[in-house]
Amino acid sequence: MTLDTAYLRGSVAGVFSVLHHATCPENIVFHFVTTHRHGAKLTRAITSTFPYLNFHLYYFNTNLVKGKISSSIRRALDQPLNYARMYLADLLPAGVRRIIYFDSDLIVVDDVINLWSINLRSHVLGAPEYCHANFTNYFTSKFWSNPAFSASFKGRPRNPCYFNTGVMVIDLWKWREGKYTEKLENWMRIQKRYRIYELGSLPPFLLVFAGDVEGMEHRWNQHGLGGDNLEGLCRALHPGPVSLLHWSGKGKPWLRIDSKRPCPLDSLWAPYDLFRHPSLFSNS
């Protein structure tokens, strides 16, 4: 998970949910990535909340993406830390092979071992896929009208489908072997020049991996609970079982709860909210 002051409350709730539903929480190791060079304040927040948590904190140098990020439809999507998921293979120790990447606006209501143990087979990455979504909407007309760009999806094992990058199981060894960070960066450079998408760090992942993802049950990413990226309106759960609830979109449950305008599903996040007081986030 990434870790910063703006989303610390969400991260803590996410960690608590993972531990609460795990059969063997003592076997779970958390890897936190931050843009805070020293991170002492964030470390204190984690250790004071979870005194026995097995975790590591890694510094993400924002210079890695400086000049590569293009403005998107929501300012929050343009933050350098949103792009840290592209560099996990460089940040984490070489001995760590498999990781689960989680966004900071979700809670788990199932034993995470069930997600961890999925068979990735030959794939680098596993995630729930949503093939009913209109895939063409994630890229601009300039992308689809350029044969060199649109041809990038040819030759994939399956037709490309949308997947949400807030929940991913990743084989870091295969990632390094395939030099996938370089492939993602290349699309970011193309975006700077041609403006082929509007949605932050998601489209590069679609360009590199869509059609070559190990699909997982939708229960592992009931996403979109934060509404759309412009208004953040309330949404209902998708049909089917639920193992993970994800408030992707503009509306975050802690902000809606604090503003006294919560959505019905925010009540499912609230029991995991260990940081209920704004004073915990002050600079004092």
- Report yes or no: 220 and 128 within 8 Å, Cβ to Cβ: yes
Q: Per the domain annotation, does 269 fall within a domain?
A: no
The residue type found at 123 is H
Q: What is the CATH number of the domain that holds 95?
A: 3.90.550.10
pLDDT value, residue 90: 97
Enter the pTM of the model. Answer: 0.94
Per residue in 129-138, pLDDT (tens digit) is: 999 999 999 9
Average pLDDT, integer, range 6-34: 97
Range among 68-72, 132-136, 227-231 rated most confident: 132-136
- The C-alpha atoms of residue 65 and residue 182 are separated, in whole angstroms, by 12
With residue 89 as reference, give the H or E element that holds it: helix 88-91
- The C-alpha atoms of residue 31 and residue 58 are separated, in whole angstroms, by 7
Q: Per the domain annotation, does 123 fall within a domain?
A: yes
**Most distant CA pair in the chain, distance:** 55
Q: Per the domain annotation, does 256 fall within a domain?
A: no
Per residue in 151-164, pLDDT (tens digit) is: 999 999 999 999 99
Among 77-81, 144-148, 164-168, 185-189, the range scoring the smallest mean pLDDT is 77-81
- Report yes or no: 282 and 27 within 8 Å, Cβ to Cβ: no
Q: How confident is the prediction for the chain on average, in pLDDT?
A: 94
State yes or no: pLDDT of 283 exceeds 60: no
Count CA atoms closer than 13 A to 65's CA, side-chain side: 23
Q: Per the domain annotation, does 90 fall within a domain?
A: yes
Q: Per the domain annotation, does 213 fall within a domain?
A: yes
Count structural domains, the chain. 1
Q: Per the domain annotation, does 230 fall within a domain?
A: no
Q: Per the domain annotation, does 63 fall within a domain?
A: yes
- Report yes or no: 14 and 107 within 8 Å, Cβ to Cβ: yes
Q: Per the domain annotation, does 1 fall within a domain?
A: no
| Residue 110 domain boundaries | 7-220
- The C-alpha atoms of residue 49 and residue 275 are separated, in whole angstroms, by 9
